[in-house]
Chains A and B, each alone.
Chain A
Amino acid sequence: MTSELDIFVGNTTLIDEEVYRLWLDGYSVSDAVALRVRAGILEQTGATAAVLQSDTMDHYRTFHMLERLLHAPPKLLHQLVFQIPPSRQALLIERYYAFDEAFVREVLGKKLSKGTKKDLDDISAKTGITLKSCRRQFDNFKRVFKVVEEMRGSLADNIQQHFLFSDRLARDYAAIVFFANNRFETAKKKLQYLSFGDFAFCAELMIQNWTLGAVGEAPSKPDSQVDDMDMDLDKEFLQDLKELKVLVADKDLLDLHKSLVCTALRGKLGVFSEMEANFKNLSRGLVNVAAKLTHNKDVRDLFVDLVEKFVEPCRSDHWPLGDVRLFLNQYSVTVHSLDGFRHQALWDRYMDTLRGCLLRLYHD
């Protein structure tokens, strides 16, 4: 006796969260059944393995049918075939587009191309996430990227509107899209200690301040047809950053900056002497990072540079986070007192974001 056909169709589509998770995690039906058995479901419910098998198959089939709709979430809302309560719809979408920290760290900043897709085997082997799940996550990133790529307006808002994500998930995806678009290097060994959250935090700050969208009606280019307002860094701004070089190139200015900072922080900093000794190096590091951002290659290395030039030196001197904050605040504020320096606004736009990023990046 073999079951040729075995289906269950409810007027309201039944969604088993547990099975959905297993499906999303890319387990085959038999693996999923085994995992459910291990979770003790048979004992809890008194069901037999055959029942579990049939149930799992059924859910998998439903999810498979829903997957097409999940690729364009608004379709899920308007379709008539599956009657699903709104809260369940939200859950389906949110979980489908959720991603694994380990996975996202692997592909963050990489081009979402066929080439990267080929590497998914390696990523799967490395992270222990099933290849199927890797593919889904990768395809999700790519799909969102494709849809919002050409759109004007806020990146996170666009994503939310077209994929009906929660706030949080939309912001995460904005970061992923932003990183993919600007191809920031995140995979270097030095950067391994950073979490996706750290990068997402930085991405948000950068989107807010460093992109074309950030300037809003940017006075410089009032009616230019810029499509990717939030996706691309403001080229003009990056160009202008070269002007900051004077802060380290002009020796007098650098000395003045240092003495002002030291005066202000004396007695307030546990690592004052180290700071004093390192000031010029640190300042040079931060300003040079800015000055280099005109080249695409250097933009990609932004995080590597920040960690190399600032985070690591401070960390090797055991600066506490509080001291780093005090220092960075003072360091950026003091520039306003430098009479010879004319690019105050530019400096603020650069430094406000950078300060936020650095504080986030500064941890073990």
Chain B
Amino acid sequence: MPGKLKVKIVAGRHLPVMDRASDLTDAFVEVKFGNTTFKTDVYLKSLNPQWNSEWFKFEVDDEDLQDEPLQITVLDHDTYSANDAIGKVYIDIDPLLYSEAATVISGWFPIYDTIHGIRGEINVVVKVDLFNDLNRFRQSSCGVKFFCTTSIPKCYRAVIIHGFVEELVVNEDPEYQWIDRIRTPRASNEARQRLISLMSGELQRKIGLKVLEMRGNAVVGYLQCFDLEGESGLVVRAIGTACTLDKLSSPAAFLPACNSPSKEMKESPLAHPPSHGCRSTHNSPIHTATGSRLTQNFSVSVPTLIYTGMGSGSAGKEGGPFKALLRQQTQSALEQREFPFFTLTAFPPGFLVHVGGVVSARSVKLLDRIHNPDEPETRDAWWAEIRQEIKSHAKALGCHAVVGYSESTSICEEVCILSASGTAAVLNPRFLQDGTVEGCLEQRIEENLPAGCGFCHIPYDELNMPFPAHLTYCYNCRKQKVPDVLFTTIDLPTDATVVGKGCLIQARLCRLKKKAQAEANATAISNLLPFMEYEVHTQLMNKLKLKGMNALFGLRIQITVGENMLMGLASATAVYLAALPMPGGIQIAGKTPSDGSYEQHISHMQKKISDTIAKNKELYEINPPEISEEIIGSPIPEPKQRSRLLRSQSESSDEVTELDLSHGKKDAFVLEIDDTDAMEDVHSLLTDVPPPSGFYSCNTEIMPGINNWTSEIQMFTSVRVIRLSSLNLTNQALNKNFNDLCENLLKSLYFKLRSMIPCCLCHVNFTVSLPEDELIQVTVTAVAITFDKNQALQTTKTHIEKSLQRASTDNEELLQFPLELCSDSLPSHPFPPAKEHLESARSNSGIPAAQRDRCSSWIELIKLKAQTIRRGSIKTTVTVEKASPMGEGNFRNRSAPPCANSTVGVVKMTPLSFIPGAKITKYLGIINMFFIRETTSLREEGGVSGFLHAFIAEVFAMVRAHVAALGGNAVVSYIMKQCVFMENPNKNQAQCLINVSGDAVIFVRESELEVISTQQPTANCQQSCAGGEVTT
């Protein structure tokens, strides 16, 4: 369907003075789309020109509409010499191409120049008329909606979740073309910006086509990234989850997988019997042959096994031609897909059945020039290889799908590390097939399972565990086995039963490496990777124990490669899941207990650690129900028993077990201090300072344990670069520097945002890069959200009430489970005594209690997660539905915070998928912007800090302006995907590239909604926000 693009240039303001003599400017505008250009008249001698042009009309293919950006250039007319460019505006017209999004783009856009930054603003109106055309062979995919949000967007319902879509396009980087030597930096930058804009348009179109092929109508969790490969080219790649979405007619009626806890949790004093997805998968044994393969690839340790994924053994060399691996067809709908991956991190109720654990794969590649941009096969093959590996890891965990899936790269010179990670999971197939979902909700309610623990239950076979882990019976339902720790990359399921609050945990690590060339370099890197993974893991596990918690969510491990070092940074949100066993303490053991003073030192350390754990428990309000010693077991492991157990258990994966044994004494619970390094490690454990009181932080969407957000939000980006003095380049010093850098950065954030206390930093996203030999750059984006301290108390109470109610409602429907079960979720009296006996007996016979704490942590975490997810989502659906008839009353009860910022033109930005205290009424389209800024007068612009500060502020401004022009008042799921900063202080130069994306939305404050909701909720609130949207 071809279309007609119409553009009108209205006016400009605050233009820069271009004519020194008159202190004025003679401005005109060029409007370009594809190869067509229009010009306005010259508006003489004004800094605030009023062009009021006619409508410029472009008749174009929709393929072009999707690929091309609209390019608006403001120039200063000069009679005698060439016209000077003032700056440009690129407008992505994609949001105008689908019916439900924006209908017009109209507003003030900052005029941007890559050398001077923002220079005034221009008022533009853009419209598109599409003509219908039923060409089957079309190349365009107009109408497919894109969302960055990694959950089902608020005002939609997922009919079918089709699955993984990916695509990549490659091109030469204009910066490295020969012509770059003779053109100006400005021309070069603009060529790059334009090219990337074109490529992302093309990429989006191609992904759209794939979605249409799958009969979907939307992409959720769309993540697009650039790889600046330098000489070898420019890669733009994207992944996402294809879905069929239905728009919900009334915004108040139903919110699928809603992450705003303030909504669901509080609206739902009446909880429904939580139920289970498909239980059959649970018991079906899934055997894995991957064990050997893993060990072969330097697989290391207990928890690492899932992790190891040290991708290809062929590291260092370009991967061979990709062989399509034959996959056995299984019954599950999922397994018919090539990659049963989902980029979502939060799910519709009932979707997630079990969670296996984190799976990840990495591979080191050598870049070479992309010879034929039209056939990006090499890069495709690389990724296919990695995905295949992820898939097999998931299988090893008895899972048929991977959720919370993401991919990333780190490039240094010609070496590139490709990484992929996700969470192995068992999903409810109903969502994945056509036509079955309609009845799904009702059906699920009939099935029943204990609340909030199902997802934690292990999906793999107990006797055939993919890695040594310690299993116990679920502390919630007592029926199924759970691991003792659970690591995942997804968000905490809304219905998970969590004790206390969560917190941000980071593992940080640096490793020096020799400078080397090509293959030697790649080999060196791939040799280092497994050790880094292992250590990052150990750190995570130790820190988790130190917090007294047993599960990690939103785990993201980033490995960055530099000239002479590798950096590892893992961030996750730790929580205490009620379904998993209580974590044991940390025991310190000295290797040579001969020396008296040494002994003393050790015991001193031990005391410190124990104190810290106790303090943390208090800080995060972790008081799980008391359970008798028998069940919990002593925190100190007994190695002998353990090894026996492991042997007996391992049937198919001998190597793994053996490898694990070598770590047996060194695992998460016992810290052996045998050398100075280990000493350092222990010290560094203790140096992490908890946030000041009133502050919480997490890297997930929401903070477990806090659910009474008020409306104040502050999104921010903070960047730090440190220079290492070349003298102290030892691993230890490096680690300390890096650790200090991160800690200080966090401290600074807490200090800066102290006026918002009590508040929580959510979605804390750290990115590390190594721009030069001795430079480390850390970029943090997060949002601070205030919450009401007083309400927190009430919610814990309602939680209890809820579970009580749940118990009672369960009665009628529970067929499989004895009544007592339901009361398990009550913290006050965990389980009936009779049952307890049974449990302890069983656990004693099966697995020695002592070990449970020690090695099963991994699996248990995994299981816990699975359970929480299941329970959470179901609860929310049901409750929201229940609440809707009396929605108004509920809204009123929640103290609607004063919303003073209904002022003109305010655009909120947040990395989260929701806005506290508000409802998203409309998604206007995806925002995906790429900017380059360069300066040759670094000192004059305030040095590197001044330069970057101004640039980031400008990027925010341009994002806000685009959102406002679409008629929106917020960006959700905002992410700064890239911030590449290069400087050359000697030449007084610097350059920075930034890539951001998010979803433009219209939101309405709940307090406003309340007023309107008496009549027609939908229509009215949309009107009201459109009305309030008048932008300056």
Q: A267 an interface residue at 8 Å Cβ cutoff? A: no
State the main secondary structure of chain A at its contact with B: mixed
Pick from B241-249, B700-708, B815-823, B950-958 the stretch touching chain A.
B950-958
Residue contact A9 to B748, C-beta cutoff 8 Å: no
Measured CA separation A45–B693 after assembly (Å): 10
* Chain B residue contacts of A14, Cβ below 8 A: 714, 752
Q: How far is the CB of B381 from chain A (nearest CB, A)?
A: 38
Q: Is B56 an interface residue (CB 8 A)?
A: no
B751 & A7 in contact (Cβ 8 Å cutoff): no
Q: Which residues of B contact A4 (CB under 8 A)?
A: 721-723, 775, 944
Within 37-70 of A, Cβ neighbours of B (below 8 Å) are at 45-48, 50-52, 54-55, 57-58, 61-62, 64-65
Write out the residue numbers on chain B whose beta carbons fall within 8 Å of the beta carbon of A62. 949
User: Would you call B210 an interface residue if the criterion is a C-beta within 8 Å of the partner chain's C-beta atoms?
Assistant: no
A4 to chain B: closest residue by CB: B721
Extra 10 A-B pairs, beta carbons < 8 Å, given A1-B724, A3-B720, A5-B777: A1-B740, A7-B948, A8-B749, A9-B716, A45-B692, A55-B748, A80-B961, A81-B950, A82-B953, A85-B900
Evaluate contact between B722 and A3: CB separation under 8 angstroms.
yes
Q: Is B737 an interface residue (CB 8 A)?
A: yes
Query: Given contacts A9-B716, A12-B714, are A65 and B748 in contact (CB under 8 A)?
Result: no
Report whether A5 and B944 are in contact in the complex, using a CB–CB cutoff of 8 Å.
yes
- Tell me whether A11 and B909 are in contact (CB under 8 A): yes
Is B718 interfacial (CB-CB < 8 Å)? yes
Q: Shortest beta-carbon distance, B896 to chain A, in Å?
A: 19
A166 contact set on B, CB distance < 8 A? none
B751 and A47 form a contact (CB under 8 A): yes
| B957 and A8 within 8 A (CB) | no
State whether B747 touches A48 (Cβ < 8 A).
Answer: yes
Cβ–Cβ contact A10 & B715, under 8 A: yes
- Interface residue B108 (Cβ < 8 Å from any Cβ of A): yes
- Alpha-carbon distance A61/B981, docked complex (angstroms): 19
- Judged by a CB distance under 8 angstroms, whether B901 is at the interface is yes
A residues in contact with B527, CB < 8 Å: none
Judge if A223 is at the interface, Cβ distance under 8 Å.
no
**Is the pair B714, A65 in contact by a Cβ cutoff of 8 Å?**
no
14 pairs, A vs B, C-beta closer than 8 Å: A1-B741, A3-B720, A3-B721, A4-B723, A7-B720, A11-B715, A14-B714, A51-B751, A61-B945, A65-B942, A78-B1032, A81-B118, A83-B960, A85-B900
A61 and B946 contact, CB distance less than 8 A: yes
Residue contact B14 to A75, C-beta cutoff 8 Å: yes
- Nearest residue (CB) in A for B901 is A85
Q: How many Cβ-Cβ contacts under 8 Å join chain A to chain B?
A: 129
Q: Please report which residues of chain A, range 71-96, place their CB below 8 angstroms from some CB of chain B when the two chains form the complex.
A: 75, 78-83, 85-86
- Distance in angstroms from B963 CB to nearest chain A CB is 11
Q: Is the CB of B752 within 8 A of A79?
A: no
Q: Which residues of A contact B949 (CB under 8 A)?
A: 7, 9, 58, 61-62, 65
Do residues A52 and B948 form an inter-chain contact, with CB atoms below 8 A?
no
Q: Which of B724, B906, B954 has the most CB of A within 10 A?
A: B906
CA distance A12 to B715 in the complex (A): 8
Contacts of B13 in A (CB 8 A): 78
A253 and B957 CA atoms in complex are apart in Å by 74
Is A364 positioned at the interface, with any CB of B under 8 Å from its CB?
Answer: no
Q: Beyond A9-B716, A85-B901, is A80–B121 a contact (Cβ under 8 Å)?
A: yes
Which residues of the partner chain A approach B79 to less than 8 Å between Cβ atoms?
A: none
Q: Which 5 A-B pairs have the closest CB atoms?
A: A5-B721, A10-B716, A4-B721, A11-B715, A9-B952
B903 contacts across to A, CB distance below 8 A: 85-86
Q: Which residues of B contact A58 (CB under 8 A)?
A: 752, 949
Using CB atoms and an 8 Å cutoff, list the residues of chain B in contact with chain A.
Answer: 13-14, 108, 110, 118, 121, 692, 714-725, 737, 740-741, 744, 747-749, 751-752, 754, 775, 777, 900-901, 903, 906-909, 942, 944-946, 948-950, 952-954, 956-957, 960-961, 981, 1032
A263 interfacial contact with B, CB 8 Å: no
A250 at the interface (CB under 8 A from B): no
- Chain B minimum-CB-distance residue to A41: B751
A40 to chain B, nearest CB (A): 14
Complex contacts, A46 vs chain B, CB 8 Å:
692
Q: Do residues A2 and B716 form an inter-chain contact, with CB atoms below 8 A?
A: no
What are the residues of chain B within 8 A of A51 when measuring CB–CB?
744, 747-748, 751
The A1-30 residues at the B interface (CB cut-off 8 A) are 1-14
Partner of B110 from the list A45, A75, A80 (CB cut-off 8 Å) is: A80
Which residues in A have their C-beta under 8 angstroms from that of B944?
4-5
Assembly CA distance A83 to B901 (angstroms): 11
In the assembled complex, the Cα of A6 lies from the Cα of B906 at a distance in Å of 27
Residues of A within 8 A of B747 (CB): 47-48, 51
For the complex, give the distance between the alpha carbons of A293 and B1020 in Å. 68
Give CA–CA (A263, B979) in the complex, Å. 87
A1, B725: Cβ atoms closer than 8 Å:
yes
Contact assessment for B744 and A50 in the assembled complex, using a CB-CB cutoff below 8 Å: yes
Supposing A12-B714, A55-B748 touch, asked if A80 and B957 sit within 8 A by C-beta, the answer is: yes
Is B722 a contact of A2 with CB atoms below 8 Å?
yes
Identify which of A8, A45, A80 contacts B754 (C-beta below 8 A): A45
Tell me how far the C-beta of A307 lies from the nearest C-beta in chain B, rounded to whole angstroms: 45
Complex-state Cα separation, A61 to B718, whole angstroms = 14
Interface contact B748-A54, CB-CB below 8 Å: yes
* A contact residues around B740 at 8 Å (CB): 1
Q: How far is the CA of A75 from the CA of B47 in the complex (A)?
A: 13
Which residue of chain B is the closest to A54 with respect to CB atoms? B748
Q: Which residues of the other chain, A, contact B110 by a CB distance below 8 angstroms?
A: 80-81
Most buried by A among B903, B944, B953, B957: B953
Nearest CB on B from A32, distance (A)? 15
Question: If the complex has contacts A1-B725, A5-B719, A11-B908, are A52 and B953 also in contact, measured as CB distance less than 8 A?
Answer: no
Kindly state the separation between the CA atoms of A86 and B748 in the bound complex, as whole angstroms: 26
Chain A residues lying within 8 Å of B749, measured Cβ to Cβ, are 8
List A contacts of B960 (CB < 8 A): 11, 80, 83
A78 touches B954 (CB 8 A): no
Contact B751–A1 (Cβ < 8 Å): no
A9–B719 alpha-carbon span in the complex (Å): 9
Residues on the A chain within 8 Å of B900, using CB = 85
A52 to B748, CA, bound (A): 8
A9 touches B775 (CB 8 A): no
Contact (Cβ within 8 A) B716 A11: yes
Instruction: Please give, as numbers and ranges, the residues of chain B lying within 8 Å of A5 by CB-CB distance.
Output: 719-721, 777, 944-945, 948, 981
A64, A75, A79, A85: most-surrounded residue (chain B CB, <10 A)? A79
What's the Cα separation between A65 and B946 when bound, in Å? 9
What's the least CB distance linking A63 to chain B, in Å?
12
Measured in the bound complex, the distance between the Cα atoms of B118 and A61 in whole Å is 18
Residues of A within 8 A of B751 (CB): 45, 47, 51-52, 55
Q: Provided the pairs A4-B723, A61-B946 are in contact, do residues A79 and B744 lie with their beta carbons within 8 angstroms?
A: no
- A10 / chain B contacts, CB cutoff of 8 Å: 714-716
Say yes or no: B717 contacts A9, CB within 8 Å: yes
* Contact across chains for A1 and B722 when beta carbons are under 8 A apart: yes
Q: Tell which of B14, B718, B777 touches A9, judged by Cβ atoms closer than 8 Å.
A: B718
Closest to B981 in A: A5
Closest chain B residue to A48, Cβ basis: B747
Check A7/B719 contact, CB under 8 A, given A51-B751, A61-B946: yes
Report whether B714 and A11 are in contact in the complex, using a CB–CB cutoff of 8 Å: yes
Q: CB < 8 Å: which of A2, A11, A48, A64 contacts B956?
A: A11
Q: Chain B residues near A64 (CB, 8 Å)?
A: 942, 946
Complex Cα distance A144/B790, Å?
A: 49
- Bound Cα distance from A47 to B108, whole angstroms: 41
Task: Give the CA-CA distance A192 to B752 in the complex, in Å.
Answer: 44
